[in-house]
Each structure stands twice: as structure tokens, then as C-alpha cells.
Amino acid sequence: MAKYSHRERLQMILAGEKPDRFAASFWRHFFHKEHDVHSTAEIMLAFQKEFDWDFMKINPRADYHTQDWGVKLEYSRNEYRKHNKSNFPVKDPEDWLKIKAHDPISPVLAEHLKMVALIRKNADRELPLLMTVFTPLAIAGRLVEDPRVLVEHICTAPEMVEKALRAISDTFKPFIAELRNAGADGIFYATLQWASADMLTWKEYERFGLPYDLEVISASENDALNLLHVCHSRNYLEHLHQHHYPCRIYNWDSLHETNLSLEAAYDNIKGKVFVGGVEENGWLQLDRDTVRDKISRLLKLHDPHRLIIGPGCCIPPETPFENLKIIREKING
């Protein structure tokens, strides 16, 4: 039997205390359920019931962020296939000026507040809930058909892009405040590919990403359980950390050779808890014996007061449940 509740265990880890066992959480898309917030809430709760993770990363359709600005989706009914997107509102630099702030009662955002409330109502009260929110720059990157369009516009029409980033930020600050009212304990704040040298220079991210990030995350209030998720290779995790993002937990692809390893992060990033250690596109997809061996080694190498066991990013939908069960069983001892 577990000695502590999920919330108590996370609170101990965040306080630097050794918990009764490793905490763990995994998350994925269920594309065939994402067309409807009731279905999304049901599948999130079912996934949690199956594996009893220590926090729930609420994983809605990625473009809930953009639909109120006109992005259209042809919803997938296939569990393993993404939705088809169309009607991108930004094609030319002048189109950024058409992106205006809207409030949390805009249709799609309001639906997702309802989804969070449904999950909170039906989940264990001791289960921390983190709602996925993308950075304003990442949201802007989904308003164009190809991310290279945004990169080009940053170079050729920076002031126009900034006006849109201001509108996006002014939309998501009150939305995040309402997420807390709906029952979220904090946000899973994702940079997608943008906080990476593969997309932008640090000087560019410092202008077009950093100030909006700090504004938006701060809307969650000081007691929020926020997680900063920095995607992609050659990422700027250490740069972001130096700017004091108000997130107590960090998650990134620590196994990619161009990124900070967990071992280096223990030395270079103080005062944070990390989520990671599992190769979601590597050994997690292999046979059970391999998964059993890998997770056993991972648990021996790390300490439960610094590392929450999890993936570097969203796990593929095809991930065998049997492999996740092995991880769950090993962590439970």
C-alpha cells in the first residue's frame, strides 16, 4: 500500500524530501476522442484509472489553442492518426494584425474550461491536474501552415508578429486564471519546437518568446503547480532557467545528445524537480524484458526526491499498455 497520496508525494518531492517511492506520470493523445470535451475527459480519467499516475497531464487536442482564431480541424476517428488542419488565418505578414485578443468564454476555450471542471469533479481530489497550455509563440506557430512562415515573418515583419503575440498573451492570461478556478492545480507549459536553436537564435527567443512566457505563466498565481516542458533538440532549457520561469518542475528530452542530460541538470539547475528518464520513442516501444531491465536500471541510477519518472515528451499512441504497466509495477515495488 502507498504511504502517501499523490499530492502528498509530490509535495514532499518539491520540498526536497525523500518520498515513499518514485512518482511517475505519462501522457498521450487519444485522437479519436478529442473532438468532444466530454469524450476527452472520459478517456483522460480512464487512462488515469488504468495506471494511477502521480499527476495528470491533461492532454487535449493541440489546436484548441487556435480554433477560436479560425483554424479548422477535420477530426480524426482513428486513435493513432492526427487531425487534419485547414484554414490557417495567417499567410501574409499583415494577417498578424487580424489576430485580436478574445476572452475565456470564446467557444473552444470555454469548452476546455468545462473539460477541466469535469475531470476535477470526477478525479481523486488528491490527484494534481496540470492543463496543457502552449506558449504564445508556439500558438502563433500553429496559426500558419508551415512554421517557416513564422520564422520568415519574425525576420521581415517583427512588429506585426509582436502585435499578435500580445493578443495571444492577453487571451491566455485570463484563460489560465480560469483554469485554476475550474480545478487545475497548474499548467503544463509547452514551448513546442520554438525554444530551440534549430528554430530561432536565443536573441530572437529572448524577444519573441521570453517576455510573453513570463507574463502568461504568472497568471496561474504563486501557488500553482506549474511544469515547464521544453521540446526539441538543441533546446534553451538552461537559458530559460536563468530567467526564473515560475515553474517548479522541468521536463525535456534529456536523452538527446544535444540537450542537457539529467546528470548534468542535477549540477547545473538547482531547486527544480525533473520529469524524464524514459525514451518514449526508444526502449519504451520494445519488448517487455527490455522495458523491465531499463526501468530497473533507471530507478537504481536516480533519486526519487529529484526525478519523477516520465517521458521526454508525449508518448506515441501506439505505446503498449503492457510496457506502461511494467513501469508502474516496478515503481510500486
Task: Say how far residue 130 (Cα) sits from the centre of its chain.
Answer: 8
- The answer, yes or no, to whether residue 2 has pLDDT greater than 90, is no
* Domains in the chain: ranges and CATH: 6-332 (3.20.20.210)
- The answer, yes or no, to whether residue 1 has pLDDT greater than 60, is no
pLDDT at 333: 83
pLDDT at 144: 98
CA distances, 81 to each of 14, 61, 205, 314 (Å): 36, 12, 31, 14
- Residue 111 has φ and ψ, to the nearest 5°, of -60, -40
Q: Of 18, 54, 11, 27, which Cα lies nearest the Cα of 223?
A: 11
What are the tens digits of pLDDT across the range 242-288?
999 999 999 999 999 999 999 999 999 999 999 999 999 999 999 99
DSSP secondary structure string for all residues of 223-277: T---EEEE-SSSB-HHHHHHTT-S-SEEEE-TTSTTS--HHHHHHHS-S-EEEEE
* C-alpha to C-alpha distance for 229 and 127, rounded to whole angstroms: 20
What are the tens digits of pLDDT across the range 87-143?
999 999 999 999 999 999 999 999 999 999 999 999 999 999 999 999 999 999 999
- In this structure, what C-alpha cell is assigned to residue 301? 541510477
- Residue 74 has φ and ψ, to the nearest 5°, of -100, 105
- The answer, yes or no, to whether residue 316 has pLDDT greater than 60, is yes
- The answer, yes or no, to whether residue 39 has pLDDT greater than 70, is yes
* C-alpha to C-alpha distance for 208 and 66, rounded to whole angstroms: 18
Average pLDDT score over residue span 302-307: 96
Average pLDDT over the chain reads 97
pTM of the model: 0.97
